[in-house]
Homo-oligomer: A and B are copies of this chain.
Amino acid sequence: MADLFLALIHHPVIDRNGRIVTSAITSLDLHDIARSAHTYGVKRAYIVHPIPEQREFAATVIDHWRFDFGRSFDGRRREALEIIKIVNTLDDAIADASTLSASRPLVVHTSARTSGGMMTSELRHKMEASDAPPVMILFGTGFGMAPSVLERADIVLKAILGPGDYNHLSVRAAVSIILDRLRGR
């Protein structure tokens, strides 16, 4: 089974007007995404942010649960947060994952606006092959990743849809659903 990584991208992302911006890290993203990632066997979840103060904020949230109050309050939450790694750029995330898995991961793009693209069921099938390369799934915060991130992708996933046309999931929900489609049982 392929090693699975994910990266939560805060720059470059777009805002509701399509402008390229840097979004803020939220502590709830860290918690929810760590818990979902650990449930589905993600090897490492990268929080990608170019601003040092924001990376320090994220580290503080995680340390709170690692060392202080959180350790005694909820050990399962601490365990999940340990798979998070905070990095400066997507390249740093790819380099770290490449070292961990001894092979460069296939980079997978996700977006609520992709009408074409690979079905999650097809990616799951690929990932279950015994010689499958590692896979890193990218998720955009804000209103999604900027178009330039798409150029980094080896695979583009089809958008998640329900029965209708409305799809405005939180990034926390999108991460959970895609992980479940790839690894759930």
Contact = CB atoms under 8 A, between A and B. Distances in A.
Interface of A: 1, 16, 28, 31-32, 35-36, 38-41, 73-74, 76-77, 79-80, 160-164, 166-170, 172-173, 175-177, 179-181, 183-185
A76 B112 CA distance: 13
B163 A180 contact: no
What is the total number of copies of this protein in its complex?
2
B170 A74 contact: no
Given A181-B180, A185-B163, A169 B39 contact: yes
6 contacts: A35-B170, A39-B169, A41-B163, A161-B184, A163-B183, A177-B180
A176 B185 CA distance: 15
A185 B170 contact: no
A163 to B, nearest CB: 4
> Which DSSP category, helix, strand, loop or mixed, fits chain A's interface?
helix
B74 A16 contact: yes
B41 A79 contact: no
4 closest cross-chain pairs (CB), A and B: A173-B176, A40-B162, A41-B163, A177-B180
